[in-house]
Amino acid sequence: MRLDLPVPLWLAGLESEETPRVPRVQKQFDRHRLGTLQRTLRAVPVGEPIILLAHEPDIFALNLDPRVVLTLAGHTHGGRIRILGWSPWIPSRYGLRYAYGHIVEQGLDLIVSAGLGAHFVAGRPLRLGVPPEIVIVDLGRPDPATA
């Protein structure tokens, strides 16, 4: 996949939100997510583009900082178990919306990789219908002739 992005770029990352200190009430959780992102981005100058590395893709649904031009995420592993396009459980409050692939919403890009991991059931890794993958994103400068 190739995305034309402005350069220079900043990289910013967020840890997994599955940590014990994170509030579980949804509104508090969303405020916590955005607060964490705001603190993460405070060193980035105004107007500089950012690629956000987020463990979980759900932050993409919130009102992201406009400097975030691309979000890369995992965590859902494409649903880990997929039968005819259906997954019985996806670790996202948005279900299939952010389960896998290149998602474009309101002009912003999110790429969710199926990754290499598996869900453990009875101590054994389980992955069915979603092959493991490593995603390569080719970044380039926008062509001034088409901008």
pLDDT in tens, 19-61: 555 556 667 777 777 888 888 889 999 889 999 999 889 889 9
Tell me which amino acid residue 23 is: P
pLDDT for 22 equals 58
Contact residues for 51 (Cβ-Cβ < 8 A; gap 6+): 5, 9, 10, 11, 12, 68, 69, 70, 71, 72
Q: What whole-number distance in Å separates Cα of residue 32 and Cα of residue 48?
A: 23
pLDDT for 25 equals 65
**pTM as predicted:** 0.80
Mean pLDDT of 13-18: 76
Q: Find the mean pLDDT for residues 5-29.
A: 72
Asked whether the beta carbons of 55 and 17 are under 8 A apart, the reply is: yes
The residue-averaged pLDDT of 74-91 equals: 79
Please give the pLDDT value at position 80: 76
Q: Provide the pLDDT for residue 147.
A: 56
pLDDT at 1 over 60: no
Q: The dihedral of CA 42, 23, 28, 65: what is its sign? A: positive
